[in-house]
């Protein structure tokens, strides 16, 4: 009889322990879930903090084009616009953007015709380059392109 009472006491303590442990785990998970996600205002502030005008945008574009183009030599009619803030489809806010136009040779050595792309800058540096016609058309419709002779002097 005494043994049964002792066994019941142990079971009661185990039950209480399990309930307390489950409660601690639940509170810990709830605290983690609520503190890890930044608020919309924090996300917007972080986005805006990275929107720094590029100082060396031409140098960044030249370095990128040297690797992007199959044959960067003898480019014709190169032009670039100074970076301006624009909204790009798929982005949550404005970014500094330059439009880049050029006529490069294809893999057979023939000029392929004018192509235009957009350079997108984050933290003052080239981050992405798009040549998707729909994005380019919208972003570059009012761009003030100026000659870009440095691009015409690229070599392999």
3-state secondary structure of 90: coil
Furthest C-alpha separation in the chain? 101
Mean pLDDT to the nearest integer, 13-25:
57
What is the rounded CA–CA span in Å between residue 33 and residue 27? 10
Residue 19: how many other CB atoms lie within 10 Å:
10
Q: Measured in whole angstroms, how far is the alpha carbon of residue 74 from the centre of its chain?
A: 31
- Start-to-end C-alpha separation, the chain: 94
Least confident piece of the model among 3-17, 53-67, 97-111, 139-153:
3-17
pLDDT for position 28: 62
Mean pLDDT to the nearest integer, 83-112:
91
Contact 112, 105 (CB under 8 A): yes
More confident residue, 89 or 127: 127
Strands (DSSP E) contained in the chain are: 76-80, 84-87, 94-105, 111-122, 125-130, 146-147
pLDDT for position 22: 55
pLDDT for position 10: 55
């Amino acid at each position: 009889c005494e043994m049964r009472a002792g066994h019941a006491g142990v079971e009661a303590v185990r039950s209480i322990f399990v309930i307390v442990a489950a409660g601690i785990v639940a509170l810990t998970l709830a605290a983690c879930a609520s503190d890890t996600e930044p608020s919309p205002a924090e996300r917007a502030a972080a986005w805006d903090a990275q929107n720094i005008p590029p100082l060396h945008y031409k140098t960044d574009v030249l370095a990128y084009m040297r690797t992007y183009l199959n044959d960067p030599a003898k480019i014709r009619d190169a032009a670039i616009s100074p970076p301006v803030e624009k909204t790009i489809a798929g982005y949550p806010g404005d970014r500094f953007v330059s439009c880049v136009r050029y006529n490069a040779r294809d893999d057979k050595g023939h000029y392929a015709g004018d192509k235009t792309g957009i350079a997108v800058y984050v933290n003052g540096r080239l981050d992405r380059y798009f040549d998707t016609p729909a994005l380019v058309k919208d972003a570059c419709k009012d761009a003030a392109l100026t000659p870009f002779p440095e691009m015409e002097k690229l070599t392999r």
